[in-house]
Structure 1
Amino acid sequence: MENQTIISYKNVEIELQGQIILTGIDFELKQGEFVYLIGKVGSGKSTFLKTIYGEVEIKQGEANVLGHDMQSIRQKDIPSLRRRLGIVFQDFQLLTDRTVYENLKFVLKATGWKNKMEIENRIQEVLTQVGMETKGYKMPNELSGGEQQRIVIARAILNRPDIILADEPTGNLDAETGRKIVELLKEICSQGSAIIMTTHNLNLLNEFPGKVYRCEQHRFNPMHNS
């Protein structure tokens, strides 16, 4: 089943509070693909990501995410969909009152992991994967922005997701740290998770090529890869 389509949107319209955010969305994501979503702040990129994890409803068009029809998905099926998604937020959203290790453990327990040994092994694995294997005991505020973002990525890959949604993951980081984060995401992508990354840093597109879509004037257009 190589390169199966895991997200398919056909002629989807997204509206919020009666306002049309994006219209005429035709979008497809295959396993292991790396896709950029570009566009100005407020052009609908984050809202589009929210439709993928069921935070924003889709009322028009056909939308399928990992086998779920997003128009008719029931509230009780959303958690099992979200377990197959990893989400990387620009503002980290780490729990500030507990260590890196406890942050990761919290997610595993919340998603049904019970075996203490398996939990410890998985946390160590993801920390190693993101180059943070010695930082488990630290509190989030003791880490730099780039280190916090690595922890957020570690958190996103804990359950080996089919898809990672990275919303401006380099937005709060300096250029060099941002490059390293995209490099890390590319590496994770090469191991099988598809990635959708929103960004307004167009330099990254040249350095780390991928498929590109642009949100502009309520439209959602595929760009020709240079």
Structure 2
Amino acid sequence: MGKVIEYKDVELHRQDLIALKHVNLSVDEGEFVYLMGKVGSGKSSLLKSIYADIPIASGEARVLDYDLNKIRNKQIPYLRREIGIVFQDFQLLTDRSAYANLRFVLEATGWHDKAEIEKRIEEVLKQVGMLNKSYKNPHELSGGEQQRIVIARALLNSPRIILADEPTCNLDPITGEAIVSRLHEIAGKGTAVIMATHNLSLVEQFPARILTCENRTIV
């Protein structure tokens, strides 16, 4: 199994302050990892560093085939194409249907063939069980349905890594369980998933490796 993330003694800064230090981390393809820790403990900093939104201050960091210490600005979009991101606040475009949200992402990432676009959107909607609601605008969908669309959006470019930042925090427990179950299924098909969460009961229900941010490092 190939490694998709490898950090050795990495230090990350936010506004000139140390966010995390001495981070040693290795994630394999198809692995599911929970990232836990209090608010402000550095979870978001770590996730943002993986898609090159925060630079590596020191140490060695590789994500997929990219050395994050040497990555050039023009390479960053290619790295991000291989990483799907699931936000807690959905970040869907509210003025268009779920289907149009997905089409927008594909067109923005260089897809041109109409039939190919339609086929791919159908595939990811099927994967998250939302094929029959794709014509609805986000405000017509429940929180859980919107989060499923967000997962579909993250899957569009067949990413090798999915980063999910507190994906269940705005959802009721049963919907949250369905979302985590779906993310575990995705990992089972070979995509590495890193999920930041506070929710211990979900972690107990769907066990996987746990990384904890505490004292400015990762345990």
Alignment TM class, shorter chain as reference: over 0.9
Counterpart among 129, 132, 157 of residue 130 in structure 2: 132
Distance 1:6 1:129 in 2: 23
Q: Which runs of 4+ in 1 moved over 3 A?
A: none
Q: 105, 110, 124: which is aligned to 1:107?
A: 105
Residue identity in the other structure for 1:92:
F
Whichever residue aligns with residue 151 of structure 1, its letter is I
Shift of 1:6: 1.0
- Secondary structure in 2 matching 1:134: helix
Look up the match of 1:224. none
| Cα deviation, residue 19, structure 1 | 0.6
1:17 counterpart letter in structure 2: Q
Q: 1:54 aligns with which of 40, 52, 55?
A: 52
Give how far 1:67 is off: 1.5
Q: Take 1:150 and 1:87, find their aligned partners in 2: how far apart are those partners?
A: 12
Letter matched to residue 172 of structure 2: D
Q: Give 3-state SS (helix, strand or coil) of 2:132's partner.
A: coil
Counterpart of 1:174? 172
Q: Secondary structure at the match of 2:126?
A: helix
Aligned residue in 2 for 1:203: 201
Q: How many residues align?
A: 219
Matches within 5 A, 1:91-106: 91-106=89-104
- The gaps in structure 2 that reach 5 residues or longer are none
Unaligned runs of 5+ in 1: 222-226
Alpha-carbon distance between aligned partners in 1 of 2:67 and 2:120, rounded to the nearest angstrom:
31
Secondary structure of residue in 1 paired with 2:38: coil
SS of 2:149's equivalent in the other structure is: helix
Structure 2 CA distance for aligned equivalents of residues 219 and 29 of structure 1: 17
Cα drift, residue 157 of structure 1 = 0.3
Q: Distance in 2 between matches of 1:87 and 1:135?
A: 21
What CA distance in whole angstroms lies between the structure 2 residues aligned with 1:64 and 1:43?
22
13, 16, 30: which is aligned to 2:14? 16
Alignment-derived partner of residue 148 in structure 2 = 150
Deviation at 1:193, TM superposition (A): 0.6
Matches within 5 A, 1:179-190: 179-190=177-188
Secondary structure at the aligned position of 2:56 is classed as coil
Distance (Å, rounded) in 2 between the aligned partners of 1:82 and 1:24: 25
**SS of residue matched to 1:71:** coil
Shift of residue 8 of structure 1? 0.2
How far apart are the structure 2 equivalents of 1:132 and 1:67? 33
TM-score, normalization by structure 2: 0.99
Partner of 1:80: 78
* Deviation (angstroms), 1:72: 1.5
TM-score (norm 1): 0.96
CA distance in 1, matches of 2:215, 2:57: 20
Q: Aligned AA for 1:156?
A: A
Structural RMSD (CA):
0.6
